[in-house]
């Protein structure tokens, strides 16, 4: 994903509204960006890796060429 330069401020603002111990998720931020038409989607045939979970990160590393 690519975000506008203000995305960190968006996360901070959403985070301030959360209760103690609540997890900050990207969905509310994406919804805010979409409402302002600051979000675009692209259809691609590329493989997707969810690097936010250990299995996805491991799969991404395994599928990537080694860096010299």
Q: Which token pair is 56?
A: 């996805």
pLDDT tens readout for residues 16-39: 999 999 999 999 999 999 999 888
Q: Give the C-alpha separation, 18 to 16, whole Å.
A: 6
The pLDDT of residue 66 is 78
pLDDT tens readout for residues 57-67: 999 999 998 76
pLDDT band, residue 14 (cuts 50/70/90) = very high
DSSP secondary structure of 22-44: PPP-HHHHHHHHHHTT-------
pLDDT tens readout for residues 38-54: 888 889 999 999 998 99
From residue 42, give the alpha-carbon distance in Å to each of 2, 29, 36: 11, 18, 18
């Amino acid at each position: 994903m690519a975000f506008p330069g203000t995305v960190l401020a968006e996360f901070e603002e959403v985070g301030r509204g959360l209760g103690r111990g609540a997890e900050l998720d990207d969905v509310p931020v994406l919804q805010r960006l979409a409402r302002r038409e600051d979000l675009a989607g692209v259809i691609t045939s590329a493989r997707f890796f969810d690097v936010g979970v250990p299995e996805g990160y491991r799969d991404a590393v395994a599928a990537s060429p080694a860096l010299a």
